[in-house]
Amino acid sequence: MSYALSYVLTPEMQNRAMVSWATPLRSRAEKLGRFGVGALGYVVLVGVVLTLLRTDFANRKMLFSATSGFCAAIAFWAVSHKISTARLKRGANEALARQGVVHAESSKQNVAPVTDISTGTTDWRCYEDAFAMRGASVLRSGASVFPVPDMALPAGTSPDVFRADLKHWIEEAG
């Protein structure tokens, strides 16, 4: 089986793919588990703070200062993360705009993408995973992602079958 696909990636799809590979399709149980661990951690933290206040080991000014410093550090991290993510997305979107239409031939041997600015052939050993994202299948190679819109698939080909073929080729190339 091989696939000859032509598509244009949207900045929105590229941006979603860039941040989705770290936690693809977490289940509801996993989300509830994370919430439970966070809630338990909060309860333990409040218990420790109350115990410190009752034993006179820490006073209110010390706890206020520590809490203020912690909050400032979190705020600094959040702002710097937002700025760096925006820069990364802006750079990726600028490259995406130059790329134009993607014509990709995917077969058991390799992936051969051709765009307005590049031509290449990539062996399946380059990829670690193929996973689902809303409206697309995504190939992951290290920190790089290559989304393929579901709308680009040939008529009659389901995204699940396409991903299964991609995963099979990646595993086979080992």
User: Mind listing the pLDDT tens digit for each residue in 14-52?
Assistant: 988 888 766 555 688 888 888 999 999 999 998 988 888
For the entire predicted model, the pTM comes to: 0.69
Q: Are 137 and 166 in contact (CB under 8 A)?
A: yes
pLDDT digits (tens, 9 = 90+) for 48-88: 888 888 887 778 888 888 889 999 999 999 999 999 989 98
Domain total for the chain? 1
* Half-sphere CA count of 5, side-chain side, radius 13 A: 26
- Angle, CA of 5, 24 and 7, to the nearest 5°: 15
Counting DSSP H helices and E strands in the chain, the numbers are 4, 7
Domain that includes residue 21, residue range:
3-173
